[in-house]
Structure 1
Amino acid sequence: MNLSRAPKDYALLLGLAMMWSGSFVFIKIGVNTVGPLTLTAARLGIAAAVLYLWLKINGERLPRDATSLKIFAFIGFFGNALPFTLISWGEIHIDSGLTAVLMGVMPVATAVLAHLFIRDEPFTTQTAIGISIGFGGLLVLIGAEARAGLTAPILAQLAVITSAICYGASATFTRYYAGHGSGRILATGAMLAGLLWMLPVTLILEQPWQMHPGIGGLAAIAYLGLLPTALAALLFFYLVPRLGANNFAQINYLIPVLGALWGVIFLGETASWRLLTALALVLCAITIVRKGMPGR
């Protein structure tokens, strides 16, 4: 498959990185006013409504065949509902900058999954070296606490790492099924499926009607629903088939850097030596993985 790598695609990738990196700050604001399940359900609900309206404006409709429904269900869960919830819960306990750094695992997970399921995105020696360096970066972040005992921050970091692996699975799955419907159809179907995954558990466990988020919380939820969820989904389903799963995963060059930067600038968080060391190692790992890809 001849993947397009036009400058326009990488400009869009940069814009997507800015939206996703900034989302960690708004998630941090959101979980201070509502529960993580409610925050996830709300952003998915806003995104689903906007995308469904956009789908109708463009004269398209959601397919109802079994294959399409399975695709929507898979991406809705592993690309939206589960990682959104894990990140929201994780940010109750850890800084948004650390969350952004941990998301650097996503390209490593994508490289492994793409090798297993996509013929023209093989696992190389350079990829293996990059994975080892990336793992070293994670040890810098969580190793000390892990040796001291399992604590809440460790669980929060593992939750974010799991969400990064979910995103890698979603990107690989999307690349595998590239061409099965337009980006608008895939984005809308995945958001609706994600919302359906979230509604029952949210209503049962958090009773969101009892929460009072305030103006700041509502603004954060609205931003999350519109930009890093709805618009980002359209870009995701446009770019992954064009760039490939591994090429797309290079977005995580920028997400840890920008995410940590936004946390320091807007939330007054501290850039510790451990975070900076881990950041350098994760970025080094992602660079090596990318350079080891065919055609680079």
Structure 2
Amino acid sequence: MNAHPSSPAHMGIRQWLMLAVLAVVWGASFFSIEIAVTELPPLTIVSVRVGLAALVLYTYMLVTRVRLPFSGRADWRTVVFAIMLMGVFNNIIPSGLIVWGQTHITSSLASILNATMPLFTVFMAHFFTQDEPLTPGRLVGVLVGFSGVVFIVGPYALQGLLSGVAGQLAVLGAAFSYAIAVVIGRRFVRLGLAPVQMAFGQALAAAVIVTPAALVIDQPYLLPLPSWQVVVALVSLATISTAFAYLLYFRLIAEAGATHASLVTLMIPVVASALGISFLGEVFEPTHGIGLLLIGFGLLLIDGRLTKRRKLRAADVPPQGR
């Protein structure tokens, strides 16, 4: 398998539909978390999420007769190590930080801050990969995007709302962890793992690590039984927003490339905000909207779409004679 497959210049209708479905699925995850944190502690939510997702993905592998990611491989130690790293940086750390963060901030704001992940990825890719340098256009995009983050977080910090700032920083930490996972995930490409093997492996690794911690720290067995609303939220979070979402995401990367797939972060905050405003009575502040626009504009600059269109338009202008 090619370690750096080329991605198409444009997405077709199939890829745009996949992107839209993924945005709705991941946008809804912030809504589900907002419900779950009302009755359950963060580690318990993460443990149930990744554990049930691993079970669903394993069942899918049995039905489709896909082997375990480390089965029958001479390099199984390398595979296990890569899977463990992905489980930590792509599941445990970001999920735990987002869930904890949403105990202090709304789902709308959490989804917006989560959209900064590609901004961190630009720097990570520059220093830890050889084919994604930090170009001037990308640097401007990072600065514009981070100005959106500052616009969102700044007013709360100036007002001294420490708990709110802590929640926002937690979600930003989750976005940074996702960026680390993107770089680590390149190992999966070289190892030739199928999307379902990648999704199952990281979910299983996360469950093995976080479940004992949840049992010791949260002691969920001493908590009262959750309401049916929380149970539905957890099942939705694990099956749809984790198992199904990762299958769809890795397939989208394979068909459209990582750059196009990352555009889902532009759409997730819109979905999460709409759900929070419609069902949770949340208020979407004007500062959040301005910050989101700045982040979106920064991501477009990073993607290079705006500069590409400029160059094409300039190329179409005929030279002026004297």
- TM-score tier, shorter chain, comes to over 0.9
Map residues 134-283 of structure 1 onto 2, 5 A cutoff.
Answer: 134-149=145-160, 151-178=162-189, 180-211=192-223, 212-283=225-296
When residues 295 and 169 of structure 1 are mapped into structure 2, their CA distance, relative to the original with a 3 A threshold, is farther
The CA deviation at 1:241 is 4.2
Question: Structure 1: which 5+ residue stretches go unaligned?
Answer: none
Find the aligned partners of 1:109 and 1:6 in 2 and give their Cα distance. Answer: 24
When residues 242 and 167 of structure 1 are mapped into structure 2, their CA distance, relative to the original with a 3 A threshold, is farther
Find the aligned partners of 1:280 and 1:139 in 2 and give their Cα distance. Answer: 13
Find the aligned partners of 2:254 and 2:308 in 1 and give their Cα distance. Answer: 16
SS at match of 2:263: helix
The CA deviation at 1:146 is 2.5
Find the aligned partners of 2:86 and 2:139 in 1 and give their Cα distance. Answer: 27
Aligned residues between the structures: 296
SS at match of 1:92: coil
The CA deviation at 1:128 is 0.7
Write the letter of the residue equivalent to 2:6: N
Corresponding residue number in structure 2 for 1:59: 65
Question: Structure 2: which 5+ residue stretches go unaligned?
Answer: 71-75, 310-322
Find the aligned partners of 2:290 and 2:270 in 1 and give their Cα distance. Answer: 12
Find the aligned partners of 1:292 and 1:125 in 2 and give their Cα distance. Answer: 14
Write the letter of the residue equivalent to 1:39: I
When residues 46 and 58 of structure 1 are mapped into structure 2, their CA distance, relative to the original with a 3 A threshold, is same
Corresponding residue number in structure 2 for 1:17: 23
More deviation, 170-179/220-229: 170-179
Find the aligned partners of 2:41 and 2:199 in 1 and give their Cα distance. Answer: 25
SS at match of 1:34: coil
Q: Percent identity?
A: 31
Write the letter of the residue equivalent to 1:35: P
The CA deviation at 1:204 is 0.6
Please report the RMSD computed on the Cα atoms of aligned residues, expressed in angstroms. 2.0
* 8 A Cα contact 2:6 2:257, kept in partner: no
Corresponding residue number in structure 1 for 2:6: 2
The CA deviation at 1:172 is 3.0
